[in-house]
Amino acid sequence: MHKYALASLTLLTGALGTASARDLAAIKASGVLYVGTEPTYAPFTYTQGKKVVGFEAELAEAIARKLGVKVEWRPSGFDALLIGLNQDRFDLVVSSHGITPERQKAVDFANPHYCSGGVVLARSNGPLTVAALRGKAVGVQLGTTYAQRAQKLPGLGSVKTYPTNADALQMLLNGRVNAFVTDRFVALEARKKFPKAGLKLGEMLFQEKIGIAVKKGNTPLRNAVNAALRDVMADGSYKKISAKYFGEDIRCK
């Protein structure tokens, strides 16, 4: 997340300190879990018609089932998700957030539900290494750990920030940027989806643990999510969903 967005998030938390998030009992009584996500991030959360689908969509629904409730998806801009969580617009945010010390100041995270990392993605003959990126234009999604990492790459021509993951990918496909820094599995999915673009995965820039966010201090909800996640990881359902989307088990090892 942006330094400034985080600063304002901290201010908001202070200002709205008395507004309380829905607790576990209220969620269970309503039968509905409101989940925020930025759904242009295939294969994690994306849309099919009006439905939010993908690995994290199915995982969140499996977790909700363990809690005895149904997920109601609340699509939102990625950079507004954690702020929205602290404004009680969602109960959970399931949108592939890397667990970073900065974000942990603003929200609480459940135990990681997968491990991955940021890679360089380019078209054939495009730059694939940090060295090759010197002087080049790199696209990223606003508010992501990839945006943060790209800003620190030495000698870049420019870092171009796009509101959604889909926009950033589109800019790579149409040649507005030379490379796109995104998640490794998102890059693999894009390569599969656009075979004619000759997309290539390059250097892995960093690794991260991905977690579900709850409002800071909503510990009973976080504990319930952790227990449900432990169950789906133990009873074979995580393995099955992961195999469906990735052909492998992507839990942190």
24 versus 34: smaller Cβ distance to ligand ARG? 34
CB of 68 to ligand ARG, least distance (A): 26
CA distance 2 to 245: 30
148 versus 178: smaller Cβ distance to ligand ARG? 148
97 lies in the site for ligand ARG, by CB under 6 A? yes
Answer for which of 6, 21, 36, 45 binds ligand ARG (CB under 6 A) is 45
Give the other-Cβ count within 10 Å of 82's Cβ.
25
CB of 225 to ligand ARG, least distance (A): 18
Q: Return the structure tokens found at 134.
A: 């010197």
Q: Return the structure tokens found at 87.
A: 């404004």
- Give the x/- contact pattern for ligand ARG in 102-121, rule: CB under 6 A: --------------------
CB of 218 to ligand ARG, least distance (A): 20
CB of 196 to ligand ARG, least distance (A): 24
Residue 129 CA: distances (Å) to CA of 134, 136, 172:
9, 11, 16
State which H helix or E strand residue 185 sits in: helix 184-193
CA distance 70 to 64: 6
- Give the x/- contact pattern for ligand ARG in 148-187, rule: CB under 6 A: -----------------x-----------------x----
CA distance 9 to 87: 10
Q: Return the structure tokens found at 253.
A: 């090892």
Q: Tally the C-alpha atoms within 13 A of residue 118's C-alpha that lie toward its C-beta.
A: 22
98 lies in the site for ligand ARG, by CB under 6 A? yes
- Interface residues toward ligand ARG, by CB under 6 A: 37-38, 41, 45, 78, 95-98, 141, 144-145, 165, 183
